[in-house]
Amino acid sequence: MYKGSCLCGSIQFTLKGGVTDIIHCHCSLCRKASGSAYATNAFINADDFELTDKDNTLTYYESSQGKRKYFCNKCGAPIYSANAQSPERYRLRLGALDSDISERPISHNFVTLKANWEDLDAELPRYEKYEPGRV
Ligand SMILES: [Zn+2]
Ligand SMILES: [Zn+2]
């Protein structure tokens, strides 16, 4: 079981299962959403995810139809995203985790869109778009 939270602590969550498909995404949307060189995201089962929002600060930005990026409106921390086309799973923002995890990243994605000041020094496969096998 993993635990996580936003920067200010208003939002806390528990993840009963593990995470899958951890990737570093370098696309411009992920860079802007994270304010960083890339976003590190993983799939989780929606049923495994229990979130408490004591100050009602969880909000979302709908980046395109049916795709909601959830974040804390007090501290700005990204938490997860949901896609109406696959409601059974979420995409967790891995930096929101407080727990150590046993899973590891599998690739760098959208590397042709990366920031030109970042030099990709990790020993992971690199893909122009999604990793092979992503559905
Ligand atoms: Zn917060
Ligand atoms: Zn991305």
Ligand 2 centroid – CA 73 distance (Å): 21
Ligand found nearest the CA of 108? 2
Domain formed by 2-113, architecture: Beta Complex (2.170)
pLDDT at 121 over 80: no
Q: Using CA atoms, how far apart are residues 47 and 43, in angstroms rounded to an integer? A: 12
pTM for this entry = 0.91
**Domain limits, the chain:** 2-113
CB distance 110 to 26 below 8 Å = yes
pLDDT digits (tens, 9 = 90+) for 27-81: 999 999 999 999 999 999 999 999 999 999 999 999 999 999 999 999 999 999 9
Torsion of CA 62, 98, 7, 59, to 10 degrees: 20
Ligand 1 centroid – CA 129 distance (Å): 31
